[in-house]
Amino acid sequence: MARQELDIKERAARLTSAERTREALIRAGLRLFGEKGFEAASTRELAAAAGANIGSIAYHFGGKEGLHGACADYIVGMISSVAEDTLGDVAAPLSHPISPRQARAMLGQALQAMVGFIVQRPEAGEIVQFILRELTHPTTALDTIYAGIFEPLHKRLCGLWEAATGEPAESERTKITVFTLIGQVVYFRIGREAVKRRMGWRDIGKREAAAVVSVATGNLSAILDARGRRKS
């Protein structure tokens, strides 16, 4: 059994009954709010999907709106945790200057972490679906996600781009470049079924994710090299 599966089982075993119910409701919320939107997902459906009684939503979250907000907080916490392993606390300024070589390496590591989470991990599907729903039908949950992780993560990557290339972090060109780097990874989640069919993959596991990382980081290196030649 994979280490990740063991970690999930061990964590579940440590949770109290109330904690398990709360977590199950959040997972149900991620899926149903992502599929249907806030208005269309009923409290009855949410409770049934979590295997909980309908009163548990009010008990744990104060109601459906509270559950919706808790889903947004969960997403911020999850993505922040993944980002922290490579980039540190993205909401805090860099603690010390970094060289262009270090910045290039950190950008590559960030792309690798994105693929490992967004593309490979099964639970990321529900998170991405929830976010996509918010991007097309914004609610206050999008404000939470944007302020909590989207903006600080994008700013950190733009800062690394400046350190790697000398191009200003807040320039339009840098911001768009970083969006394109992120977008190429996200496509492998939102276009997952089409990708699997075209590639002849049964699933996107460790080997397939490594192939995506190889191309994505190759693209990054090519862009960085091209920018470097233009400067010289």
pLDDT band at 4 (very low <50, low <70, confident <90, very high): very low
Yes or no: say if 149 and 75 are a contact pair by the CB < 8 Å rule. yes
Give residue 192's pLDDT. Answer: 96
Yes or no: say if 49 and 28 are a contact pair by the CB < 8 Å rule. yes
Model-level pTM?
0.88
pLDDT band at 9 (very low <50, low <70, confident <90, very high): low
Give residue 95's pLDDT. Answer: 74
Q: Over the range 203-213, which residues count as b (16 or more CB within 10 Å of their CB) and which as e?
A: ebeeebbeebb
CA–CA dist 159, 174 (Å, integer): 9
- The model's pLDDT over 22-70, given as tens digits with 9 standing for 90+, comes to 999 999 999 999 999 999 999 999 999 999 999 999 999 999 999 999 9
Q: Report which of 145, 169, 160 is spatially closest to residue 113, judged by C-alpha positions.
A: 160
Query: Any idea how long the chain is?
Result: 232
Yes or no: say if 76 and 152 are a contact pair by the CB < 8 Å rule. no
> Once rounded to an integer, what is the mean pLDDT over residues 6-25?
73
| Residue written as token pair 């470097």 | 228
The rounded mean pLDDT for the chain is 92
Which region, left, alpha or beta, applies to residue 167 given φ > 0 means left and ψ of -120 to 50 means alpha? beta
Give residue 91's pLDDT. Answer: 87
CA–CA dist 197, 191 (Å, integer): 10
Yes or no: say if 159 and 152 are a contact pair by the CB < 8 Å rule. no
| Residue written as token pair 């409290």 | 43
Question: Encoding tokens for residue 224?
Answer: 């960085």
- The model's pLDDT over 111-166, given as tens digits with 9 standing for 90+, comes to 999 999 999 998 899 999 999 999 999 999 999 999 999 999 999 999 999 999 99
Give residue 44's pLDDT. Answer: 97
